Amino acid sequence: MYTLRTLEKEGAPPLLRNVNDSNDWMNKRTTILNDWLKCIGGIPPLVKTNKKIISWEVYADYYLIRIRYASVYNDWVPANLLIPKSIEQGELRKESDVINLLHANNKNKFPAVIALHPTSDNGKEDISSSSGRENRKYALELVKRGYIVLAPDTITAGERVHQNEKPFQTASFYKSHPEWSAVAKMIVDHQQGISLLEELTIVEHSKIGAIGHSLGGYNSYFLATVDKRIKAVICSCGFSLFEQDPEIHRWGRREWFTHLPKVSDYLDDGNVPFEFHEIAALVAPTPFFLWMGQNDKIFPHWKPAAVGLVELNSLYDWLGEGEKIKYLIGNSGHDFPFEIRQIAYSFLDYWLCKK
C-alpha cells in the first residue's frame, strides 16, 4: 500500500528495491500477487469447458463462427471465433461441419490469440467484423495473418448488455456479486476462453497470446498476471499508473463501469493498494509489448507511466529476459495506429510462430 502523496513525491516504487536474488523477487512477486487477488476479489475455479455454436459465416480467407462458451456462475460468454481459411475444410453446410473444422486432425496446428475489445458498445464486433472502427479491427487482421482468434464480449458490452441497462453499466453485476469485481469477472471469462482454445485440436496449445486496446489492453495484461498459458501479451493504450491520474477514481466505484470497488476504500483514505507497474510486473517473464500515446485523452498522464515502463524493463533485464519486453511511446492519441499494429503483430509472430 502507498499513499498518493508518496507516489506524487517519489514516483513509481522501484520493482527491484530490496531484491538481491531470485528468492527475494519470488517473495515480492507473491506479495504483489496476493495483494492483487485480494483487491479484485479472487479468481474462482474454472468450470468445465463447454460451447454452443450459434451460427457461422464464410469469407474469402477465413471462417467466422459465432459461439457461446461456459463461464463461472452459470454464465455464457458470446464470442466470435475466427479460423484461417488455410485450414482445409469443405463447405460448412451444417453444425457437424463446423465441429469437424474445429476438431480436425490436422498435422499443422495454428497459433491462437484471444483478442479483447476496447470500450465499444458493439463489443467484439468492433475488432472482429468489417463494421468495426478504423484501427480497431485487430482480430480480423490477425486471422488473415494466420492466427486462430477468439474475440469475446466483456460483461456489459455487445450481446452482454443487460435489459434496461446501457452498455458498460455494472450495477446489476454488483447486485449479484457485491464482494467481487468486474476485473476478476473479465479475467475469469477470458481464462475460460483460453480453455476453449486449448480444447480445439487445430490450436497449438503452447502458442496462445492475448491482445487488446484500451479496455482490452489492460484486460490482456490483467489476464496474463494470473494465467501463464498466455505466451505473449500486446497492450495498446491500456497501461497507466495511479500517480498523477487526473481521474483517480476511474478504477474504483463509479456510476457506470466500476472496475475495482475496493480501490475506492483505499482512495477515500488517500491511499492505493498497489501501483500498476507492480501488477504489470506479474506478467514477467512472458513476452510483453506495450504502446502508449503522448496525446492520449483517456490516459493523459503518460510521463509517470513511462517511468513505470522503465521499471518493467529493468525487471526483465534483471531476470535475464530483456529481449521479451518491448514498449513504444509515440505522439498519437488514444489509438492503435496501423504502423504500431504491424510492429505488435511482428512481436506476436516472433514469440508465437517461431520454430
Average pLDDT over residues 337-352: 98
H helix or E strand, kind and range, residue 65? strand 62-71
Locate 275 and state its grid cell.
501501483
Residue count of the chain, please give it: 355
- pTM metric for this prediction: 0.96
Q: Residue 88 has what pLDDT?
A: 65
Q: Residue 355 has what pLDDT?
A: 53
Q: Residue 16 has what pLDDT?
A: 98
pLDDT averaged over every residue in the chain = 96
Q: Is the pLDDT of residue 107 over 80?
A: no
* Percent of the chain with pLDDT strictly greater than 70: 99
Q: Is the pLDDT of residue 290 over 90?
A: yes
For the chain, what are the domain ranges?
A: 2-353
Locus of grid cell 504483489: 32
Average pLDDT over residues 10-28: 97
Q: Which candidate, 305, 300, 304, 287, places its Cα nearest to that of 331?
A: 300
Q: What is the pLDDT of residues 150-159, one digit of tens each?
A: 999 999 999 9
Local confidence band at 247 (pLDDT 50, 70, 90 cut-offs): very high
Asked if residue 285 has a cis previous peptide bond (ω within 30° of 0), the answer is: yes
Residue 55 bridge partners (DSSP): 66
Q: Which amino acid is at 107?
A: K
CB 324 within 8 A of CB 287: yes
CATH superfamily of 2-353: Alpha/Beta hydrolase fold, catalytic domain (3.40.50.1820)
Q: What is the pLDDT of residues 58-105, one digit of tens each?
A: 999 999 999 999 999 999 999 999 999 977 667 788 999 999 999 988
Average pLDDT over residues 179-187: 98
Average pLDDT over residues 178-191: 98
What is the Cα–Cα distance from 280 to 225, expressed in whole angstroms? Answer: 7
Least confident of 97-101, 140-144, 184-188: 97-101
